[in-house]
Amino acid sequence: MNLLRYLPAAALAVCLHAQTASFDAALVKPAQASGDRKSMNSDAGRIAYTNVTLRDCLMAAYNVKDYQISGPDWMKTDRYDVVATAGGAASADAMKIMLQNLLLGRFQMSVHREKRDLPVYAMVVGKNGTKMQETENPGRGNLRMNGGGVVFSSVTIQQIIDYMSRFATAELDRPIIDETGLTGHYDATVNLFGTQEEMMTAVSKGDLGASIFTLIQDQLGLKLDSRKLPLDMVIVDKAERTPTEN
């Protein structure tokens, strides 16, 4: 039964647009570069990805994190170059839909969405409240080194989580999910070491000088709770390693 015929006209138009939206020109091929270094550039009408994995592309296309993708192991290792151009300026959502369709077609993929209960760390506010200061004049979030510490300026909780997730420590063995309920931009300083030289040497080895659980609770007033939460997943049922011809 064709369910599309029972959709309201507006919903049907959106559905059909999502199915047919495509780039005017697109190149997808095995990467020319070697190693792990990659670049992912995009604007309102063009994307240019170099030396990326299929998982990188799926994260951009479906707006998910790496832990929200399930698929073949080669999606983490095989590298590709992707260049695609739309017919004109396009919104971020439209670019995502076009990228989804491009990947589905070129990699002959079958994908579905579902929720799965996964072990996570839920970031919550500690019992004594947050120690961060809400930014008076919110702007673009950034961080900088200051002696043996890190200064966060006008950052969201998700930006703090993203920064923490870069450290491949044994403690961070699962995703961190924001459950703080804090929606503003914040200023905070995390003191790690006595000097910047000590910090740079240690951080390069994934060493934060103390347990990350202790650091965020003592210096940010936040806490990581071990939980199981339902997360939206992108499940790749099948995909070809070699993209079809351009």
Find the largest Cα–Cα distance for the chain: 68
179/122 Cα distance (integer angstroms): 6
Q: For the chain, where are the alpha helices, taking DSSP H only?
A: 9-20, 54-62, 92-106, 157-164, 196-203, 212-215
pLDDT, tens digit (0-9, with 9 covering 90-100), for 56-87: 999 999 999 898 999 999 999 999 999 999 98
Task: Tell whether the model's pLDDT for residue 93 goes beyond 50.
Answer: yes
Mean pLDDT of 124-150: 89
Global pTM?
0.72
Joined together, the tokens standing for residue 241 give 């390693």
Residue 177 lies in a domain: yes
- Are 87 and 169 contained in the same domain? no
Q: Which domain-ending residue is among 61, 79, 107?
A: 107
Residue 245 belongs to some domain of the structure:
no
Say how many domains are in the chain: 2
Place of tokens 């659980």: 213
State how far the Cα of 123 lies from the Cα of 221, in Å rounded to an integer.
11
Residues 162-185 have pLDDT tens digits of 888 776 566 677 889 999 999 999
Q: What secondary structure letter does DSSP report for 224?
A: E
Residue 215 in tokens:
């650091």
Assess whether 135 and 183 both reside in one domain. Answer: yes
Based on the fold, state whether residues 25 and 103 are members of the same structural domain.
yes
Residues 102 and 129 in one domain: no
Instruction: Supply the range of the domain harboring residue 51.
Output: 3-107
